[in-house]
Amino acid sequence: MQILLKYDMRVPEGAGPRETFYAECLDQCQWADGRGFAGVRFHEHHRSDDGYLPSPVVMAAAAAGRTKTLALRCSVIVLPLHDPVRMAEDLAVLDLASGGRLELVVSAGYVASEFEMFGQDIGRRVELLEQGIEALRLAWTGESFTFRGRPVRVRPRPGRQIPITMGGSSARAARQAARIADGFEPAPRKYLQAYLAECERLGRKPGWYPGPGHELRLLHVSEDPDATWDRIKQHARHENDSYLAWTRPAGTQVGYSAVTDADQLRGQGGYRVVTPEDCLRLVRELGPDAEIQLHPLMGGMDPELGWESLQLFESKVMPQLATEGLLP
């Protein structure tokens, strides 16, 4: 079982100074380091009114400077939006500076306005992703090669060949990941089976994929869940509706749904606000292979609420999980 933090740095209007949320994020990463947390995950999107994190590599580098053991998961990087040669350089530096703690997940993307912003054709996103993954791998050999007619040599090279996991939300993406990537992060999890089946068909050993629990939008621990949900639900609604505005036009199914009331989100099970005791029951049900991601600044919610949840999880949930052998 692995416990991670995750951040997308959404700060809707009226939530507070954006600088405060960035400082709190780094403080929380530093706090979690050495407390049994496995890593921290940073997302990527662009052109979002609430300031959704556009630069996960920069944020991971900032977290690297405040931590010593946390894995730094850039997940997902929308690779077709970037020059993969430049990205290879940035990721190599991040991996070297962090002592090999980078975990990389890339995807083809799905938001048309982002492709327009960067002058890319969304109709070529699958092709661009494949080209990008190939370029990353060649770049990290440190040897010369040609990319799109350009002579390339990337130095410094990372101290290892960084595994490239692919994210995706379709059976097609699952099959592509089995063919070209070192693992698969499905959203939703139902596409995992397509990945495993394609790996078997190709005679390839499956790479990394997240365990049960990965799809929880929020797992928040509170001594008074109902009162805490009343303070959190507007932020859950903001997150859900913001994603839906991206995914619905793209036809992407990642588990967000149209609701008329924020309380519906809690009833659907993706957003959990639970007591320490109920949290233990839930995590036990997910099993030893679970990957639990805590989202302590979700949708611009009060950082004080995030801290309360983290500290309750650390003091009342993690010791029991360790006793039961569910934590490394």
CB 114 within 8 A of CB 249: no
The domain 2-232+269-323 is placed in CATH, from the list 3.40.50.300, 3.30.365.10, 3.20.20.30, 3.40.50.970, at 3.20.20.30
* Strand duo 39-42 + 150-152: pairing: unpaired
CB 288 within 8 A of CB 326: yes
Distance between alpha carbon 122 and the CA centroid of its chain, in Å? 22
| pTM: predicted TM-score of the whole model, two decimal places | 0.96
Domain boundaries, the chain: 2-232+269-323
> How many Cβ atoms sit within 10 Å of the Cβ of residue 322?
13
Give pLDDT tens digits along the chain (328 positions): 999 999 999 999 999 999 999 999 999 999 999 999 999 999 999 999 999 999 999 999 999 999 999 999 999 999 999 999 999 999 999 999 999 999 999 999 999 999 999 999 999 999 999 999 999 999 999 999 999 999 999 999 999 999 999 999 999 999 999 999 999 999 989 999 999 999 999 999 999 999 999 989 999 999 999 999 999 999 999 999 999 999 999 888 777 889 999 999 999 999 999 999 999 999 999 999 999 999 999 999 999 999 999 999 999 999 999 999 999 8
User: What CA–CA distances, in Å, run from 156 to 27, 90, 135, 143, 254?
Assistant: 30, 10, 15, 11, 37
79-82-127 Cα angle (round to 5): 50
Q: Report the residue count for the chain.
A: 328
User: What CA–CA distances, in Å, run from 224 to 230, 256, 284, 290, 309?
Assistant: 10, 26, 21, 25, 11
